[in-house]
Amino acid sequence: MPRIVDHHQRRREVSAATLRVVVRDGLNGVTIRAVARESGWSTGVLNHYFENKRALLLAALREAATQADHNLQKTLRSNRSSLETIRATLEEMLPLDQRRRAMCEVFAYFYGEAASDAHMAEEMHTYYTNWRRVVRDAVLEGQADGTIRKELDATLVSEMLVAMADGLGLQGIFDPAIQSPRRQRQHVVEWLSYLTA
Amino acid sequence: MPRIVDHHQRRREVSAATLRVVVRDGLNGVTIRAVARESGWSTGVLNHYFENKRALLLAALREAATQADHNLQKTLRSNRSSLETIRATLEEMLPLDQRRRAMCEVFAYFYGEAASDAHMAEEMHTYYTNWRRVVRDAVLEGQADGTIRKELDATLVSEMLVAMADGLGLQGIFDPAIQSPRRQRQHVVEWLSYLTA
């Protein structure tokens, strides 16, 4: 009987393993050999699926986006207040711990490509559209129940919050002395008070 | 008589030529050959100074930062109001035209490296420290002359403004349908009203 290989499953295992390597050792730690060790697959199998470091990191980017979206959906299902949803969404995007720092690093790795390749730009557009929509829905909900100022333009403010989180997350990874996790949380508190003040 | 070569001058000419290629053709347009054509130097001379595309783009990054700083200093010397200084500083960071778009693209190219290389992180830290300081000084000035709300924390708010500009600039290059120049200017107006409201 021929051995049945679930290619999709295998790719996801390797993607998750790559992301764990970034969590532990940063972008520089990602090599075919390191991911082989982490995933339990041979370097031969890995080379079959991923031609180079970029291909591994692209898989890690998609895995990170999937995990972040999974966490956002969990937040939405938990019936928190709109402000709590916004806080959780922004904090999911910030490098507040090793897991989220890894996600920000993998995104940073592809920003240059997004600036010069239409496919990568389109992929980023999809992720950002999702984030902006989650924040915007929460802002509208907060305006409906009276916790968020009605005079704010929900679309503009959600773009602003996602832009702030993006810039802060980026600076948090290359400028952690200024944008420490503690400082980033202070910013989030400030933004929430802007919405309600 | 031996020909005298001003290496520093030659490097700056090539850096500026590289940046002009990005302005005209984007990151993908940057090749040794294209920069040779633009700068008037031979590919042989260029290969002597720059070993690859990354080296050319690193020179362009520094040239872009120098030009941006030059523009900021000009803004500061022109004795505008503090709000006008903040507006000009933020707008200098945003991809509102081809020149600034090129700067944002070159920065985006190096964000991944800044996430994984201490030297590049340090270089970015220097640029961002400068931007935050210019904005912070203007916020303090505006608070002193009564145009900006005194209860705002000048350091926190300047970090926030630079983070917003950063995120917006990034999204402006890979998501221009959402973050058009017109939309980005709307955001700047909104932030200025936040400072004064």
| Residue B191 neighbours by CB under 8 Å, 6+ apart | A160, B90, B161, B164
Residues of the domain holding A113? 7-196
Q: Are A135 and A158 in contact (CB under 8 A)?
A: yes
Q: How many domains does chain A have?
A: 1
Give chain B positions within 8 Å (CB) of A112. 27, 108-112
pLDDT at B1: 53
pLDDT in tens, chain B (197 residues): 556 678 888 899 999 999 999 999 999 999 999 999 999 999 999 999 999 999 999 999 999 999 999 999 998 899 789 999 999 999 999 999 999 999 999 999 999 999 999 999 999 999 999 999 999 999 999 999 999 999 999 999 999 999 999 999 999 999 999 999 999 999 999 999 999 97
- What tens digit of pLDDT does each residue of B120-155 get? 999 999 999 999 999 999 999 999 999 999 999 999
Backbone dihedral region for residue B26 (phi beyond 0: left; psi -120 to 50: alpha; all else: beta): left
Check pLDDT > 90 for residue A80: no
Answer yes or no: is A1 within a domain: no
Is there a contact between A71 and A96 (Cβ–Cβ < 8 Å)?
Answer: no
Which pLDDT score is estimated for B5?
A: 72
Mind telling me how many Å the CA of B81 is from chain A's nearest CA?
24
Q: What is the pLDDT of residue B3?
A: 63
Q: Give this complex's ipTM.
A: 0.92
Average pLDDT over residues A45-74: 94
Q: In chain B, positions 27-46, which contact chain A (CB-CB < 8 Å)?
A: 27-28
Residue A93 lies in a domain: yes
d(CA A137, CA A133): 6
pLDDT band of residue A102 (cuts 50, 70, 90) is very high
d(CA A84, CA A75): 9
pLDDT greater than 60 at residue A196: yes
Nearest alpha carbon to residue B90 among B100, B79, B102, B77: B100
Residue B107 lies in a domain: yes
Give A-chain residues touching B190 at CB under 8 angstroms.
Answer: 156, 160
Nearest residue, CB atoms, B160 vs list A108, A112, A164: A164
- Here the CATH number for the domain that contains residue B121 is 1.10.357.10
In a domain, B13, yes or no: no
Confidence at residue A3, expressed as pLDDT on a 0 to 100 scale: 62
Asked if residue A2 belongs to a domain, the reply is: no
Assigned domain for B54 exists: no
